[in-house]
């Protein structure tokens, strides 16, 4: 049998923490893009073109990771809601027992 030692508040808190990490990731990816594209002022030629092309080819991976972080945060929120609903349902059942 599972031992569940988590509260809805904790799950919601972790979801918010994860969203903060997602925001940091998104900001870092934006800064990285600015840095790489800004190199064209001092770094010219085929190697620079290859660097930009490689970065652009990885953009979907960065975006997918960001989306995955948000989906995981939503999963934590949904789990918190289900825990709360289940607890309230059990309370109602227990309070109605024997009446």
Domains present along the chain, CATH in parentheses:
16-80 (1.10.287)
- Residue 98 has φ and ψ, to the nearest 5°, of 80, 5
Cβ neighbours of residue 62 under 8 Å, at least 6 residues apart?
A: 25, 29
Block residue for tokens 């600015």? 34
Per-residue pLDDT of the chain (99 residues; tens, 9 = 90+): 778 788 999 999 999 999 999 999 999 999 999 999 999 889 889 999 999 999 999 999 999 999 999 999 999 999 999 999 998 998 999 998 877
């Amino acid at each position: 049998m599972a031992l569940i030692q988590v509260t809805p508040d904790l799950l919601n808190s972790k979801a918010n923490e994860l969203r903060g990490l997602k925001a940091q990731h998104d900001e870092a990816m934006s800064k990285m893009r600015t840095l790489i594209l800004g190199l064209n002022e001092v770094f010219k030629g085929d190697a620079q073109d290859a660097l930009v092309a490689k970065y652009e080819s990885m953009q979907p991976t960065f975006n997918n990771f960001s989306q995955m972080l948000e989906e995981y945060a939503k999963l934590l929120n949904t789990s918190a809601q289900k825990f709360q609903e289940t607890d309230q349902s059990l309370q109602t059942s227990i309070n109605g027992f024997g009446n």
